[in-house]
Chain A
Amino acid sequence: GDSVTQMEGPVTLSEEAFLTINCTYTATGYPSLFWYVQYPGEGLQLLLKATKADDKGSNKGFEATYRKETTSFHLEKGSVQVSDSAVYFCALSTYTGTASKLTFGTGTRLQVTL
């Protein structure tokens, strides 16, 4: 079945450091790929997405490129801020009927310190 593997956290960085959170996937067909972010006590918010190979999703300084050859969708940001502290989830989407079925990774907690 479909699965998503992402690096375990927590990841602790100083402000302005470079961020990489690794994500690899296993899926049949051609899934869409997502990064969602969850701030403490809240639901998930879509951060960025890519729908086909070589697409780059970007938002708020975060980027991820859909790499079909390595089945990866690593999240990067050049300079993190304290406000980026949250849990980040990588996910893939396939369709079941007309509804979308998301398969999530286990999440990576990011803590950014001054």
Chain B
Amino acid sequence: DGGITQSPKYLFRKEGQNVTLSCEQNLNHDAMYWYRQDPGQGLRLIYYSQIVNDFQKGDIAEGYSVSREKKESFPLTVTSAQKNPTAFYLCASSIVRGYSGGGFSGANVLTFGAGSRLTVL
């Protein structure tokens, strides 16, 4: 079955360390996204990518970095510059507007992974 795989599910980090969260999809989606979820705050967009080798900052990109070397993969690095990294991180993907089949239907529907919970010790 097609889907999004995030790993690890749980991750512990010491202060001052960088950590990388993995996100892999086999849905053949062009667009991929990283969201951060905190209790009582909903989800906030960190970074997104519309195509390989290109990505844009979302609303809370400071202290994070990404790469998009392959269509299937969009890893997120939480750097030591992120002051409050403890959170639940969600990766998502979607087709892009204008995809084959005509029109925009489905292009704004995101498929999410199961998430990675990062705790800073």
Residues of A within 8 A of B (CB): 4, 32, 34, 36, 41-46, 49, 51, 89, 93, 95-102, 104-107
Complex CA gap A89/B56 in Å reads 24
Please tell me which one of the listed residues A32, A44, A100 contacts residue B90 in the complex, with CB atoms under 8 A apart: A44
Whether A100 contacts B43 by the Cβ 8 Å rule is no
In this complex, which of A34, A36, A43, A93 has the most chain B Cβ atoms within 10 angstroms of its Cβ? Answer: A43
Check A99 against B96 for contact (C-beta < 8 Å).
yes
Query: Once bound together, how far apart are the Cα atoms of A51 and B107, in whole Å?
Result: 11
Bound: A102/B33 CA distance, A: 10
| B112 contacts the other chain (CB 8 A) | yes
Q: Measured between C-beta atoms, what is the minimum distance from A111 to chain B in Å? A: 16
CB pair B112 A45 closer than 8 Å: yes
Q: Are B115 and A42 in contact (CB under 8 A)?
A: yes
Query: Does B13 have its Cβ within 8 Å of any Cβ on chain A?
Result: no
Bound complex: CA A45 to CA B94 (Å): 13
Q: Is B25 an interface residue (CB 8 A)?
A: no
Number of interface residues, chain B, beta carbon within 8 A: 33
B64 at the interface (CB under 8 A from A): no
Contact residue among B30, B50, B108 (Cβ-Cβ distance under 8 Å from A93): B108
- With A32-B108, A44-B90, A93-B108 in contact, do A102 and B115 touch (Cβ < 8 Å)? no
Taking CB atoms, residues of chain A closer than 8 Å to B43 are 44, 89, 102, 104
Beta-carbon contact of B48 and A101 below 8 Å: yes
Q: Which 4 A-B pairs have the closest CB atoms?
A: A43-B112, A98-B96, A100-B108, A93-B108
Contacting residue for B114 out of A42, A98, A99, CB 8 A: A42
A95–B97 CB distance below 8 A: yes
The contact sample of 23 A-B pairs, CB cut-off 8 A, is A4-B42, A32-B108, A34-B109, A42-B114, A43-B90, A43-B112, A44-B110, A89-B42, A93-B108, A95-B108, A98-B50, A99-B31, A99-B49, A99-B50, A99-B94, A99-B96, A99-B97, A100-B107, A100-B110, A101-B45, A102-B108, A105-B42, A107-B40
CA distance A41 to B42 in the complex (A): 15
